[in-house]
Amino acid sequence: DQQVKQNSPSLSVQEGRISILNCDYTNSMFDYFLWYKKYPAEGPTFLISISSIKDKNEDGRFTVFLNKSAKHLSLHIVPSQPGDSAVYFCAASAAGGSYIPTFGRGTSLIVHP
């Protein structure tokens, strides 16, 4: 059973526009959420995170929104740049699980010049 779901395998966006990547989770015990970015042949790189006590966290062009009642989070990238083209993994963790993250399957973002 997938506790973290990224239902869009891919997303294509024009440079300069907003990219919105979505993630849903089923485990109500999750209280910490992360986004990782992965280029081909490299390991994932931490991008941004949010605690369940917040509903928004912003870092430069990247903003993560958390809707606990809907068990949904999203990553907004604005403006999108060609260098943002990568696979984005959503991950969630819980104190009861020693905060070891559970990952979604990823969304491949392509930003066209």
Q: Which residues contact 103 (CB under 8 A, 6 or more apart)?
A: 4, 36, 89, 90, 91
**Smallest separation (angstroms) from other proteins to the CB of 2:** 8
One symbol per residue from 16 to 55: x for binding other proteins (CB under 8 A), - otherwise; what is it? Answer: ---------------xx-x-x----xxxxxx--x-x----
Provide φ and ψ at 97, rounded to 5°: -105, 25
Q: Report the C-alpha gap between 9 and 57 in whole angstroms.
A: 24
Stretch that binds other proteins, among 12-20, 60-68, 75-83, 94-102 (CB under 8 A): 94-102
Least separation in angstroms between residue 79's CB and other proteins is: 26
